[in-house]
């Protein structure tokens, strides 16, 4: 009788490692489907050497070098971060030029969602009152007001979906004129302009802060309002709260007159991100997200992907997809700025990978990057924006941000996203109150364990039960239904929210 072999996951014909698909991992002596016999136990999601890899030999996954062996790795050996070192990152002054783009696929027509049309032409997927703050000092008061609005005012305005505080840790005790201060300042300014807030800008300040509240008001917007707690007209805490509630009612009145209308899918602005990634992220969830991203672009919509340190080692693969030389130069410029930022802090891109990433089988940032950029799909890269800037072009945009989940999500909100897609392999309850956040998981083991916290299981791709294309279309439809308010995300059903976190590379005084 022929001994049964065990399937493992090999991505590319040139790969010399394979990923264990068996939940619970494999023990020594297990034989893979290519005949490799394991020399030692290898956990679920981790890599096995498919051939003898000598010390200083290359370790290849996705057809790309993900590491250099720091010791001899005989066939059947567990390949992990302790047995390899990183290769050098791609040189930014020698990136491939933009390549001739193939003929675009046929436009995807006829797909719509029910959204809230704004005066500036943008479309919200929610109808939310946002109360912006100019300084952390007022956050406690604003949180108090939000609870009062929820309990006392919202029941009178049934067309308003909710109220959120745009609290942050910036505004004072900072070097407000430092060059890099523009990043947190424009982020706070642009957060209030997110399409899910309906153009209603309401700012609460203290009065003595460096970030002046009036800087956050859109120029020429008569409906925008600002209130400072140090105004002598407020005698006591109750007076402050009553004044804020009065302003809130004016904004709620206008928001309540808004109703959903049929909008083309070209009005989608979808932010894609990953967190708690594992070895399956680049095989299942992220390629599925990339497929959905391509569908959105074909429908005329906008998609942004981010996370500089998770793009840096794959930037040479993105450069040929740039629409033009200017976009390619902007991509290299954002990478170089972040290299310098990390160097100032005594770190480099290797600091990105977390203990959870490594426990999930990701041996280093190169492997993680190759999986991360799969979220971008295959569309041409139309534009590159800096952190805190709003996107301005349809199609695919690289919105440069740090890779930290909460910082990236905050910056994508400032960039104008109205739907958020978040992939995870290790699991996270992460959610944003300002935009619906669809959670896409990379492996079915997590989907079963966190059955009530996830929206789509893409682990079926790894086992051959589903295709990337089928699940990509399923995700695309989930996005439309969620944008229309027809479907509530798992995290929203549970009432889970995370705080906004600004990216501030400028000095704090």
Total residues belonging to the chain: 509
Give yes or no for a contact between 311 and 398, defined as CB atoms under 8 angstroms apart. Answer: yes
Q: Which of 17-26, 164-173, 218-227, 279-288 has the lowest mean pLDDT?
A: 218-227
Give CA separation, 283 vs 176, 197, 437, 488, in Å. Answer: 43, 35, 21, 27
CA 188, 189, 195 angle in degrees (round to 5)? 100
Phi and psi dihedrals of 494, rounded to 5?
Answer: -85, -10
pLDDT classification of 1: cutoffs 50, 70, 90: very low
Q: Are 457 and 441 in contact (CB under 8 A)?
A: yes
Query: Six-digit token pair at 195?
Result: 């399409």
Share of the chain above pLDDT 90, in %: 96
Q: Compute the distance between CA of residue 169 and CA of residue 177 in angstroms, rounded to an integer.
A: 17
Mean pLDDT is lowest, of 3-12, 109-118, 496-505, for: 3-12
pLDDT of residue 223: 86
The distance between the two most distant Cα atoms of the chain, rounded to a whole number of Å, is: 90
- Average of per-residue pLDDT across 257-270: 98
Per the CB < 8 A criterion, the answer to whether 402 and 118 are in contact is no
Count of CB atoms situated within 10 Å of the CB of 101? 12
Q: Are 435 and 413 in contact (CB under 8 A)?
A: yes
Report pLDDT digits (tens) over 111-154. 999 999 999 999 999 999 999 999 999 999 999 999 999 999 99
The pLDDT score that the predictor gives to residue 3 is 54
Q: Please give the pLDDT value at position 218.
A: 85
pLDDT of residue 155: 97
Residue 269's beta-bridge partner residues? 302
Q: Summarize pLDDT for 94-106 with one digit per residue, the tens.
A: 999 999 988 889 9
Tokens encoding 314 = 């794959």
- In Å, what is the CA distance from 391 to each residue of 243, 310, 318, 401, 468? 35, 20, 18, 13, 28
pLDDT in tens, 212-235: 999 999 887 888 999 999 999 999
What is the rounded CA–CA span in Å between residue 332 and residue 345? 20
* CB neighbour burial string for 423-459, b if at least 16 within 10 angstroms, e if fewer: bbbbbbebbbbbbbbbbbbbbbbbbeebeebbbbbbb
In this model, does residue 282 exceed pLDDT 60?
A: yes
Average pLDDT over residues 256-271: 98
Q: Above 90 in pLDDT, residue 371?
A: yes
What angle, rounded to 10 degrees, do the helices at 468-483 and 285-298 form?
A: 60
Strand duo 128-133 + 381-385: pairing: unpaired
- CA nearest neighbour of 266 among 159, 157, 418: 418
Asked if residues 187 and 411 have their Cβ atoms less than 8 Å apart, the reply is yes
Q: What is the pLDDT of residue 4?
A: 66
Which of helix, strand or coil describes residue 291? helix
Which residues are registered as beta bridge partners of 264? Answer: 112
Determine the average pLDDT of the residues in 179-185.
Answer: 97
87: helix, strand or coil: coil
User: Burial letters for 190-205: b for 16+ Cβ neighbours within 10 Å, e otherwise?
Assistant: bbbbbbbbbbbbbbbb
Could you give the dihedral angle defined by the CA atoms of residues 9, 10, 11 and 17, in that order, rounded to the nearest 10 degrees? Answer: 120
pLDDT in tens, 67-114: 999 999 999 999 999 999 999 999 999 999 999 988 889 999 999 999
CA Rg value for the chain: 24
Residue 322 DSSP symbol: B
- Average pLDDT (262-289) is 97
- Given a cut of 60, is residue 2 above it in pLDDT? no
3-state secondary structure of 406: helix
- pLDDT tens, position by position, 410-445: 999 999 999 999 999 999 999 999 999 999 999 999
CA 502 remoteness from chain centre:
14
Across the range 30-44, mean pLDDT stands at 97
387's CB contacts (< 8 A; 6+ apart) are 183, 187, 399, 400, 401, 402, 411, 503
In this prediction the pTM is: 0.96
Among residues 303, 443, 469, the alpha carbon closest in space to that of 375 is found at 303
For residues 490 and 439, the answer to whether their CB atoms sit within 8 Å is yes
Nearest to 273 by CA among 92, 428, 381, 467: 428
Cα–Cα distance for residue pair 113/300, rounded to 1 Å: 13
- Portion of the chain with pLDDT greater than 70, in percent: 99
What mean pLDDT value characterizes the chain? 96
State the residue for tokens 């809230």. 116
Comparing CA positions, the residue from 65, 8, 70 lying closest to residue 38 is 8
Question: Which residue from 59, 45, 39, 63 is spatially nearest to 8, judged by alpha carbons?
Answer: 45
């Amino acid at each position: 009788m022929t001994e049964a072999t065990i399937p493992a996951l090999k991505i590319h014909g040139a790969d010399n490692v394979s990923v264990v698909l068996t939940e619970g991992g494999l023990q020594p002596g297990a034989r893979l489907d290519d005949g490799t016999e394991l020399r030692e136990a290898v956990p679920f999601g981790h890599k096995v050497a498919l051939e003898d890899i000598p010390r200083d030999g290359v370790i290849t996954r996705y057809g790309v070098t993900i590491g250099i062996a720091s010791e001899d790795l005989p066939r059947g050996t567990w390949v992990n971060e302790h047995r390899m070192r990183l290769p050098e990152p791609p040189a930014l002054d020698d990136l491939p030029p933009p390549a001739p783009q193939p003929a675009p696929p046929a436009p995807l027509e006829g797909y719509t969602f029910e959204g809230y049309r704004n005066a500036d032409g943008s479309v919200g997927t929610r109808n939310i009152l946002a109360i912006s703050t100019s300084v952390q000092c007022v956050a406690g008061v604003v949180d108090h007001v939000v609870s009062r609005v929820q309990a006392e005012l919202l029941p009178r305005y049934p067309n308003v979906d909710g109220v959120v505080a745009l609290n942050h840790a910036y505004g004072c005790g900072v070097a407000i004129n430092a060059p890099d201060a523009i990043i947190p300042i424009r982020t706070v300014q642009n957060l209030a302009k997110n399409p899910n807030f309906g153009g209603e800008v309401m700012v609460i300040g203290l009065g003595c802060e460096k970030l002046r509240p009036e800087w956050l008001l859109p120029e020429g917007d008569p409906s925008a309002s600002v209130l400072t707690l140090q105004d002598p007209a407020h005698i006591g805490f109750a007076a402050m709260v009553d004044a804020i509630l009065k302003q809130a009612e004016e904004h709620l009145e206008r928001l309540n007159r808004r109703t959903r209308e049929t909008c083309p899918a070209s009005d989608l602005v979808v932010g894609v991100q990953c967190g708690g990634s594992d070895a399956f992220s680049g095989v299942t969830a992220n390629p599925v997200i990339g497929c959905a991203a391509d569908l959105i672009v074909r429908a005329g919509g906008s998609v942004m992907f981010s996370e500089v340190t998770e793009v840096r080692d794959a930037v040479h693969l993105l450069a040929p997809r740039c629409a033009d030389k200017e976009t390619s130069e902007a991509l290299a410029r954002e990478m170089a700025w972040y290299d310098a930022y990390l160097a100032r802090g005594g770190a480099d891109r290797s600091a990105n990978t977390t203990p959870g990433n490594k426990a999930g089988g990701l041996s280093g940032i190169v492997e993680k990057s190759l999986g991360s950029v799969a979220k971008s799909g295959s569309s041409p890269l139309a534009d590159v924006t800096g952190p805190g800037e709003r996107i301005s072009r349809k199609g695919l945009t690289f919105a440069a941000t740090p890779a930290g989940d909460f910082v990236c999500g905050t910056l994508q909100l400032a960039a104008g996203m109205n739907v958020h897609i978040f992939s995870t392999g290790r699991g996270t309850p992460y959610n944003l109150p300002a935009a619906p956040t669809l959670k896409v998981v990379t492996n079915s083991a997590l989907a079963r364990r966190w059955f009530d916290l996830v929206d789509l299981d893409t682990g079926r791709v790894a086992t051959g039960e589903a295709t990337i294309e089928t699940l990509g279309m399923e995700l695309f439809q989930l996005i439309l239904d969620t944008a229309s308010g027809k479907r509530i995300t798992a995290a929203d059903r549970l009432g889970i929210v995370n705080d906004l976190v600004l990216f501030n590379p400028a000095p704090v005084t």
